[in-house]
Amino acid sequence: MVFLSKISVWIIPALLLLIPLWAYIKKVPVYDVFAEGAMEGVKTAVRIFPYIVTMLIAIAIFRDGGGLVYFSKLLSPVTELLGVPVQVAPLALVRPLSGSASLGMTAELLQTYGPDSFIGRMASVMQGSTDTTFYILTVYFGSQGIKKFRHAALVGIIADCAAFLAAVILCHFFFA
């Protein structure tokens, strides 16, 4: 264990040294390739920026306009049937939309109820078991100029629902 902790300190610095060294040995123009990659990254960032801003504004309107509370109440019969605490239900709605908003909600739940509470554990498992489906669709499809992604959205929603259901089942199995 001590050996692994000592090696883990040096892994990243070693990679940062060895990869450019290997490229130099292979006669790859390291600086030029790095600068080219950085330029492509900037172009991608500029290309996806409008999609990110649009998504963040839509999420803020949904949350601040009361849509999150409305949908949480609308889904409360289902969430109660599944045994999802009412405090965690909004996380299930926000997680597919925004990683930062869902992380903020999870942090708030952990601070309020504690990380070892059932609510804290369920929020943590939900946070870790899904991805930000609509954010990913917006950014990745938007960066490539793809405007029709209905099947990808449907598959993403189904995957999110399956992950949330698995999180609920596992939390009840391990923590209830």
| Per-domain boundaries in the chain | 46-175
Question: Residues with Cβ < 8 Å from 86, sequence gap 6 or more?
Answer: 72, 76, 79, 80
The string of pLDDT tens digits covering residues 112-171 is 999 999 999 999 999 998 888 888 888 788 778 787 877 888 999 999 999 999 999 999
Q: For the beta carbon of residue 56, count every other beta carbon within 10 angstroms.
A: 16
The string of pLDDT tens digits covering residues 29-45 is 988 998 999 999 898 88
Contact 118, 171 (CB under 8 A): yes
Contact 139, 52 (CB under 8 A): yes
* Per-residue tokens: 153: 């959205």
Average pLDDT of the chain is: 87
- In angstroms, the CA 111 to CA 121 distance is 12
Global pTM? Answer: 0.67
